[in-house]
């Protein structure tokens, strides 16, 4: 019989006793490979005391028969699910997209599978994902926290690392990989004030209950006070629409030229919408800086000036802390601080590749 190009299909029943409905048993693999069931079990559970030749023979038999392991049974038997949970607050945020990719590459390299959740900046949604992760017996949790009350408890049960943000209740129980947000905010505001001569700088911020936002606000406030300049802030926004409304009300009371520091992706697009509505020019009328990766030149033709941490470095440090939590679960969890990288673009006027432009509402098609 010519088997060239033939793809083995799951067993559906045969004369040698294989069960119906595609369920391949260990005894089927043992018969096919001409070894004992104990040997098959050792190979499938990646146990020692099996020669390389025997292992190859068993694995080949499993593939030919279309064997699919019962992940739930294996998880119960070995107390390992092979799953890692990653919970982020906004999958549409360019920076978090990079972070997801960095975690997925590293987790997959360790033979694990990443389970992804998007809390959408909502505590109740974060609670639900934490519950699901624990039900799935994940081996670890990486989370950009929103503030779910159960996070501290989850960190006691599962090795957990908080990324980008922290919550007080989980400190010491979960590892922390945090960015130097205050210093980055100070650098961006100083750049607008000292290098571009702006005397009015506004802050457009998300919820100040979030640790990173508080630090960014603190950095902004410190530089403005040191420069003897008034602070102008609109905070507590979650959606780009909320941010746009807050920015519009704030910008109407400022006289161009002025600057704005946005604390994240959604705040940036809110500011851009308000600027478009008011018919202001960037950077001639408004100097714009932000946190988070916004993307390349974007639909506006502008290159944002922004502060962002290396997603690869964050993922590497987080996995190091995860390994520590696995090895010494009773020890106090560590905190690691990583630096921001600041890229200067045309929204602040540093790289002016074309004349200052007015962003119209028709041009502004922001990914929100």
More confident residue, 299 or 349: 349
Strand partners, 178: 337
Q: How far is CA 200 from the centre of its chain?
A: 33
d(CA 109, CA 255) in angstroms, rounded, equals 53
d(CA 223, CA 225) in angstroms, rounded, equals 5
**Tell me: the pLDDT tens digits for 184-230?**
999 999 999 999 999 999 999 999 999 999 999 999 999 999 999 99
d(CA 131, CA 206) in angstroms, rounded, equals 26
pLDDT number for residue 299: 53
In angstroms, the first-to-last Cα distance of the chain is 58
The yes-or-no verdict on residue 359 having pLDDT over 70 is no
What sign does the CA torsion over 225, 255, 246, 348 have? negative
Q: How far is CA 358 from the centre of its chain?
A: 33
pLDDT number for residue 73: 52
Residue 38 binned pLDDT confidence (cut-offs 50, 70, 90)? confident
Task: Report CA Rg, the chain.
Answer: 27
| Residues contacting residue 163 through CB under 8 Å, at least 6 positions apart | 99, 142, 143, 144, 177, 314, 318
Q: In residues, how long is the chain?
A: 368
Average pLDDT over residues 279-296: 89
pLDDT number for residue 80: 66
Residue with tokens 């929103």: 146
Mean pLDDT of the chain: 85
pLDDT number for residue 72: 54
The reply to whether the predicted model has a pTM over 0.75 is: no
């Amino acid at each position: 019989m010519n088997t060239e190009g033939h793809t083995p299909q799951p067993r559906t029943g045969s004369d040698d006793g294989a069960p119906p409905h595609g369920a391949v048993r260990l005894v089927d693999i043992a018969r096919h490979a001409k070894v004992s069931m104990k040997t098959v079990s050792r190979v499938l559970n990646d146990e020692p005391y099996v020669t390389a030749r025997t292992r190859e023979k068993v694995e080949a038999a499993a593939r030919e028969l279309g064997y699919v392991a019962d992940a739930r049974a294996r998880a119960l038997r070995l107390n390992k699910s092979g799953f890692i949970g990653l919970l982020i607050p906004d999958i549409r945020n360019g920076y978090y997209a990079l972070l997801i990719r960095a975690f997925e590459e590293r987790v997959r390299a360790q033979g694990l599978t990443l389970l992804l959740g998007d809390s959408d900046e909502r505590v109740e949604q974060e609670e639900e994902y934490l519950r699901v992760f624990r039900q799935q017996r994940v081996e670890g949790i990486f989370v950009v926290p929103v503030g779910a009350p159960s996070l501290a408890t989850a960190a006691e049960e599962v090795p957990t690392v908080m990324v980008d943000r922290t919550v007080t209740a989980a400190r010491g129980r979960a590892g922390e990989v945090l960015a130097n947000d205050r210093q980055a905010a100070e650098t961006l505001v100083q750049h607008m004030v000292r290098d571009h001569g702006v005397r009015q700088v506004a802050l457009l911020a998300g919820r100040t209950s979030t640790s990173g936002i508080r630090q960014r606000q603190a950095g902004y406030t410190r530089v403005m006070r040191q420069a003897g300049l008034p602070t102008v802030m609109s905070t507590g926004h979650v959606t780009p629409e909320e941010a746009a409304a807050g920015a519009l009300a704030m910008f109407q009371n400022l006289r161009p030229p002025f600057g704005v520091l946005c604390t994240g992706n959604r705040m940036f697009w809110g500011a851009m919408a308000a600027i478009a509505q008011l018919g202001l020019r960037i950077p001639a009328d408004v100097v714009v800086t932000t946190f988070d990766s916004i993307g390349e030149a974007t639909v506006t033709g502008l290159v944002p000036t922004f502060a962002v941490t290396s997603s690869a470095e964050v993922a590497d440090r987080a996995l190091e802390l995860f390994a520590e939590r696995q090895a010494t679960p009773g020890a106090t969890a560590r905190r690691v601080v990583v630096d921001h990288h600041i890229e200067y673009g045309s929204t602040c006027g540093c790289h002016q590749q074309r004349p200052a432009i007015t962003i119209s509402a028709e041009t502004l098609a922001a990914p929100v």
